[in-house]
Structure 1
Amino acid sequence: MFKRTNVRYPRPSLKSLLWGSLGGSAGILAVIIGVGLYIVETLTRPKRLATFALYTFSPFELGIPAEDVTFPSLHNDYQVNGWYVPHPGATTTIVVSPGYRGSRSDVLGLCALLWKAGHNVLVFEYYGHGTVVGMPVTLGYREINDFLGAVAYAKQRAPEARLGAVGYSMGAAVSIMGTARSPEIEALVADSAFATHRRVVEFAVSRTLHLPFIIFEWVTDLILWLRAGYRFNQVEPLRDIARISPRPVMIIHGMKDTIVDPHDAPLLYKAAGEPRELWLVQDVEHCGAYFFDRVEYMRRVNEFFDVYLRQRTPVSPDTDTDAQSEGPTSLSEAI
């Protein structure tokens, strides 16, 4: 028979346990900081457009009399690029802004249709996002100065014209914040706007990392302040939208949006004062409502500006709109 012997295993000392836990905590902290750095760098890093991206449609192909224009941002620290399309006898001007890293050509089709409806049109691209690159961008914090510069330029070009605005994605969020600060804008269409800076980052993190954003929120917010000079709570259309009333707001959003949480639209709608409109479009991706049904989209947008900028009585369409295009009939259905 084998003789049984007692084997004593060395007990880890308190010191080794402490160092081990500190090492593990340091590793977790390093991962959290790394993710925060990646989020901020991805968000703000300049991105030069590929050469072929610069060769796209222009007003020339659509036969509209657009002028290449530049105007200063609010603080006159750089020039913003745009197209101004004057319409003879127009009593209204619509300011159109594309989204994050978008160019003015992205929304050229809408601009042409607005011009054909009798509006002057000013479309611009946020500095650093479109054809002019090379400097860090933000998600609305600095870009609001471009929007306010566009409003001033539109008023300068047609002082007697009443102003409206259409924005997409980040451009819609900026248009909400800018309209709240610009009494000159009398009617706003916001397509695929995010409710807050934090929410749009949280939505992206949850879809890509499948982890709760609260793990990375504090460090991302700190790095954003250190690298870009602002914090999440300084970009909140949800806070500003109530200040637009009694001027009207139309909110449009695709319910299959994978860039901005579709629930942001009802949040903005709830926060907005009257008059307000909400159009939620089923089975449509980010900024896709126009492409889903161009006729219905332009009918709604043109009627909105006719009613609130031209004081015309709305006319109901002859036929019922596709139910899929109409979206939910109540806010509770959207939420």
Structure 2
Amino acid sequence: MSTTSLKTVTGALQPTIDHVITQPFLRKKKFITTTLLALLLIGTSILLIFHAYIAWTLGRPHIEPLHSNPMKSVRLPYSDVSFPSYNGKSKLDGWFIPAGGATKTVIFSHGYGGNREEEWVPLYKLARELHAQHYNVLMFDYGYVNPSNHRLMTGGIQESQELLGAIEYVKQTNGGSIYVWGFSMGAGTALQAALQQNGDISGMILDSTFLLNADTLYLNMNQIVHVPKYPSLQLVRLFFPVLNGVSLRQVPYTQVTTTSYSMPIFLIHGTEDNKAPHNLVEAMFKQQHNTSSKIWILPGAKHELLYRAEPKTYVSRTMNFLNGIESSTAAAVQPNLGIPSSL
């Protein structure tokens, strides 16, 4: 075969050879690209589902049923009570423990994931101490505790309306001085309610104050699973209103933490609180101008375990705080009998 003929044949075969070589390469490249895209899609889906699950569970905490009552636990007679939230959007159930005609009442504001019992605090023992000091006690469940309410946790937005409903209930049925004793998110809820009340709260004790903002949300997320702040925090805040019907941006965090409240406040917190840093309440205390307000930071104490850390001191300090306010109030309303001050 001549050289010219060989070149002709080779030239004719070249496209076929190139096709045979290129086709497997293109198939392999397409397979790799498709696989990478599929993995990216699966990874993104898992990421989104994971953060949606976190947002979903935040609004639906697991809550144990009631195990006892004031009579069984601490031999205190009580009555079952029901009342609406201040805005009428939910109905609340609770126990009212009377103290022999007393006109001063303490309302317990329980924390996230708890109910009116909140045994780890423990509320029954505190109710018994208050009863001994001649205070009525109202223990109630926030609306998200009762499944029949079909309501989710809102970070204090609706809960503050429910606490205001509890205050209104005491005003209408008993009157007198009303104190709020809040724990964790229940303490944060009390502060939100205090922004909206009209002088109805005589004082507040706030134990392990928790406010749901970006920093505390990420702090608690990171204890469950280590995730980067970005984009995890943004994704949870994105999904929360979609799945729970309320935006965390509605929580008035800045207003709550910078307000000087008219009533005396006793802030109690532990240095080892891994859910709400103690510097939050220390900064809040600096904003307070009521001279009867107090702060107590317990070294080494953990979130909502302050009573268990120092039970005797805890009881004596909280009771002295309440009784001090009562004494000041009573002195302020004493009628002027015209007796010379020199006597």
TM-score class normalised by the smaller sequence: 0.7 to 0.9
Shift of 1:197: 3.2
Give 1:211 shift: 2.7
Residue among 169, 176, 179 paired with 1:164:
179
Preserved CA contact (<8 Å) 1:140 1:173: yes
Matched residues in 2 for 1:39 and 1:268: separation? Answer: 29
Aligned residue number for residue 97 of structure 1 = 109
Identity of aligned residues (%): 23
Structure 1 Cα separation of the partners of residues 193 and 156 of structure 2: 10
Aligned to 2:8: none
Do 1:35 and 1:216's aligned partners in 2 also have CA atoms closer than 8 Å?
Answer: no
Matched, 1:232 2:232: no
Find out whether 1:43 has 2:58 as its counterpart: yes
Q: How many residues align?
A: 302
Q: Distance in 2 between matches of 1:174 and 1:280?
A: 20
User: Helix, strand or coil for the counterpart of 1:310?
Assistant: helix
Deviations 1:259-313 (A, max 9, x none): 3333333243344444432211122221111122221111111111122233189
Please name the residue that 2:234 is paired with: 218
Residues of 2 paired with 1:70 and 1:115: CA distance?
A: 21
- Aligned AA (1:215): P
State the TM-score, normalized to the length of structure 1: 0.78
TM-score (norm 2): 0.76
Change (3 A) 1:58 1:87: closer
CA drift of 1:217 comes to 2.0
* Farther off after superposition, 229-238 or 198-207: 229-238
Query: 2:220 pairs with 201, 204, 207, which one?
Result: 204
Q: 1:194 aligns with which of 200, 210, 228?
A: 210
* Aligned mate of 2:328, from 304, 308, 311: 311
The aligned residue for residue 331 of structure 1 is none
SS at match of 2:239: helix
Which position in structure 2 is the counterpart of 1:181? 196
Describe the shift of the 1:18–1:246 C-alpha distance in structure 2 as closer, same or farther (beyond 3 A): farther
My pick for the range that moved more, 287-296 or 53-62, is 53-62
Mean Cα displacement is larger for which, 260-269 or 94-103?
260-269
Please tell me whether Structure 1 or Structure 2 has the larger radius of gyration of its CA atoms: 2
1:297 to 314, 319, 325: 314
Q: Which runs of 5+ in 1 are unaligned?
A: 1-9, 314-335
Q: Matched residues in 1 for 2:221 and 2:324: separation? A: 40
Partner residue of 1:58 out of 51, 70, 73: 70
Alignment of 1:64-143 (within 5 A): 64-106=76-118, 107-129=123-145, 135-143=151-159
Q: Deviations over 1:240-276 (max 9, x none)?
A: 2444523211111122223333333324334444443
2: CA distance, partners of 1:153 / 1:109: 24
In the alignment, the residues of structure 2 paired with residue 20 and residue 71 of structure 1 have an alpha-carbon distance, to the nearest angstrom, of 59
Residues 282 and 178 of structure 1: is their aligned pair in 2 closer, same or farther, counting only changes over 3 Å? same
SS in 2 for 1:128: helix
Q: Distance in 2 between matches of 1:128 and 1:167?
A: 17
Structure 2: which 5+ runs fail to align? 1-24, 331-343
Q: Which has more helix, going by share of residues?
A: 2
Whole-Å separation in 2 of the counterparts to 1:270 and 1:263: 11
CA 1:284–1:265: 2 relative to 1, 3 Å = same
1:295 match: secondary structure = helix
Counterpart in the other structure of 1:7: none
Shift of 1:185: 0.6
Q: For residue 326 of structure 2, what is the amino acid of its counterpart?
A: L
CA contact (8 A) 1:33 1:219 kept: yes
- Residues 63/32 of structure 1: CA separation in 2 closer, same or farther (3 Å cut): same
Structure 1 contact 179–244 (Cα < 8 Å) conserved? no
Identify the range of structure 1 (164-173 vs 280-289) with the bigger mean alpha-carbon deviation.
Answer: 280-289
